[in-house]
Amino acid sequence: MRITRITLWSVDLTSHETYYMAEGKACATVKTHVLCLETDTGLKGWGEVCPIPHYLPAFADGVPSAVTEMATTILGLAPFGVDAPMRRLDQVLLGHPHAKSIVDMALWDLFGQATGQPVYALLGGRTRFDMPLYHSITCIAPDDMARIATEAYGTGIRQFQVKLGADADWQADAERLIKVREAVGTGPLVYGDWNCGATKLRATRTGRAVAHLDVMLEQPCKTLEDCAAVRQATGLPMKIDEGAHDFETLLRAHALGCLDAVALKLSKFGGLSAMRRARDLTVHLGAEICAECTWGSDIVTAASLHFAASTPQGALLNTCDLAGYVAPRLCPDAPTRAHGRIAPPNGPGLGVSPDPSVLGTPVLELA
C-alpha cells in the first residue's frame, strides 16, 4: 500500500460570533486547509490546519507551497507508522510545523484505517470515554461575557476561558473575570487569556485585583520570563499557550515556575507525532494539558479528541470542540458537545470524512 495522490482544499470558516482578543487580534472569517492523502488501495487519510492571523508564525496561504515542497517525499510512502516519514519531512522542509501538522494528521488517519484501529489506540490507548470542554468567551463588555458564560454553563460547560485585553484596560479585564466568576459560581474553572497582549504591569494589576478569586491566568505576556514574573507577583496559577511549542520552551516554562497548565496545539508542534512526545514530557513535568489546535473544523477537532482520549489520567485539563465555533461544518459524521463534554469519533483512523460539497474545488492536486 502506497500513497499515490495528494489533494488540498481551502475553505473559509466563519465564527458564529467574532472573537476579539488583545492587540487587535480577532477571529471572524479565517482560511482552513484540508488535505487528502489517497493510497493505491483507495484508502483516504484526512488532515486539516487553520492558522489564525497574528497569532503564531504560521501563514495559511503558504500551506499549498509547503505541501508541494514535501510532495515528492510523501508520494510513495507506505502508511504504516508516522514518526519515520515525519522525520524525513523535517529534513526536506525546515520549520513550518503548521504545514507539517496537516500531513502528520493525514498519515495517522491512514495508519489507523490500514490497521483497523482508532487513532487514540495508536497514540497509547483510550484512557477515558469522553473529555471536559472549555468554552472560550470573546473579549467584549463584561456583562455580555457573563451572559455568555451563563448560557454555556446551562449546557453543562464547567470550564471557561475569558478573553482579555481587547481594550488594554486592566480594570475592565478584572471586571470581566469577576463577573464571569460570579455568573458560574464557585467550582468551575475560570481563566483569563491575554494571548500575549498584556504588559507585565497591566497583567499584574489585573491579577492582584482578582487574587481573592479562584481564577487562573493564561499567557499574559509575550515572553515566558514576563509570564513567570506575573505569576510570582499575583500568586495565581498560570497556563502557557503561545510560549510553549517544543521541548525547550516546555522545559523553560517549568524551570521558571509558570507551567501549571499548557495548551498543546497540533499546528504549534507539527502534528500528533511531535505533540505525543511533548505530552510525555508535560506529564513528567506535572503540568495539566489542554489538547487542541489553533482553529479549524471537524478534522482537526477529531485529531485533538483522539489525542485527549489517550492522555494519561490526571494530566488532561480540557479539550476544545473547535468545529462548534464555526461554519460550515466539514464532516456530517463528526461528534458534537453534550453536557459540557465530548467523545472522540468511532471507527478506524480519525473516524471522520468531509462532505465533498463543502470542500469545493481543490487548490492543489499532485500524483
Q: Which residues are catalytic?
A: 163, 265
- Of the candidates 156, 186, 124, 160, the one whose C-alpha atom is nearest the C-alpha of residue 342 is 156
Residue 179 near residue 192, CB atoms below 8 Å: no
The residue assigned the cell 491512514 is 110
Q: Is the previous residue joined to 328 through a cis bond, with omega within 30 degrees of 0?
A: yes
What would you measure as the largest C-alpha separation in the chain, in angstroms?
A: 61
- 297: cell is 473544523
Q: In one letter, which amino acid is 338? A: A
Q: What is the DSSP string of 277-302?
A: HHHHHHHHHT-EEEEE-SS--HHHHH
Q: In whole angstroms, what is the distance from residue 225 CA to residue 252 CA?
A: 9
Q: In whole angstroms, what is the distance from residue 198 CA to residue 200 CA?
A: 6
Kindly report the number of other CB atoms within 10 A of residue 327's CB atom. 13
β-pairing verdict for 238-240 and 261-265: parallel
- With a CB cutoff of 8 Å and minimum separation 6, the contacts of 330 are 11, 34, 48, 297, 298, 299, 323, 352, 354, 355, 358, 359
Beta-bridge partner residues of 19: 27
95: buried, middle or exposed (CB in 10 Å: 19+, 13-18, 0-12)? exposed
Beta-bridge partner residues of 364: 8
What are the start-end ranges of the H helices in the chain? 63-74, 83-92, 97-115, 119-122, 142-154, 170-184, 200-209, 224-234, 247-256, 266-269, 272-285, 298-309, 356-359
